Amino acid sequence: MQVRGNSRKRGAPDATSKLSLKSIARGIKLLILDVDGVLTDGSIILDNDGIEYKAFHVRDGHGIKMLHAAGIGVAIITGRHSKVVERRAQELGITEVFQKCLNKKVAYEHLLEQYALKAAEVAYIGDDIIDAPIMAVVGLPVAVADAAEEAKKFAVMVTKSRGGRGAVREVTDFILKAKGLWQGMFDAYFED
């Protein structure tokens, strides 16, 4: 994961270090995800009958489940609507799913109010300009490796992996490690 200074205030980049990012990640209570380009590689596959297909990375899904197990919430805010997203969210235990959000900040502000969260307690992973308004205000804005430059400008971290190729897992592991929870979760797989 690449640490970046950020220009979220449209001024000079902040001097953001990996140590300060770990400090920010320790306070995260909610991870919000975009779908196309973050949970998927951005491809939208339609068959002749108009049925939509998306491919999700299994390790991203496992990372989301580990966050749930650690008591960290996960939500989805996406600009498109897809039954595939509903199904994947259900499989992963994500109950906060906002689809067809052209103004993603409305759903974001609803989540803050519903869960009595501060912006500093929220991480967001995005990949395009539609994500920038939320990335500009959350505590931990992350862009996937192949994100549009407009999104990367607002990120304090950029994943090594592309969207739909393990980028979400990088972030979930980073948050769990910053909170001191990752090793215990890893060790649990070796228990009888």
For residue 1, the SS3 value is: coil
Q: Is residue 144, in this structure, part of any structural domain at all?
A: yes
For residue 155, the SS3 value is: coil
Q: Is residue 125, in this structure, part of any structural domain at all?
A: yes
Nearest alpha-carbon partner for 152 in 4, 45, 9: 4
pTM of structure: 0.90
pLDDT at 96: 98
For the segment 142-171, what is each residue's pLDDT rounded down to a tens digit?
A: 999 999 999 999 999 999 999 999 999 999
Q: Is residue 115, in this structure, part of any structural domain at all?
A: yes
Q: Is residue 6, in this structure, part of any structural domain at all?
A: no
pLDDT at 191: 87
- In angstroms, the CA 60 to CA 118 distance is 25
Nearest alpha-carbon partner for 168 in 51, 82, 72, 45: 72
Q: Is residue 45, in this structure, part of any structural domain at all?
A: yes
For the segment 114-141, what is each residue's pLDDT rounded down to a tens digit?
A: 999 999 999 999 999 999 999 999 999 9
pLDDT at 106: 96
Domain span holding position 42: 17-181
Is residue 13 scored above 70 in pLDDT?
no
CATH value at residue 47? 3.40.50.1000
pLDDT at 107: 97
For the segment 39-84, what is each residue's pLDDT rounded down to a tens digit?
A: 999 999 999 998 999 999 999 999 999 999 999 999 999 999 999 9
- In angstroms, the CA 93 to CA 90 distance is 5
pLDDT tier at 15 (50, 70, 90 boundaries)?
very low
For residue 134, the SS3 value is: helix
Q: Is residue 99, in this structure, part of any structural domain at all?
A: yes
Number of domains comprising the chain: 1
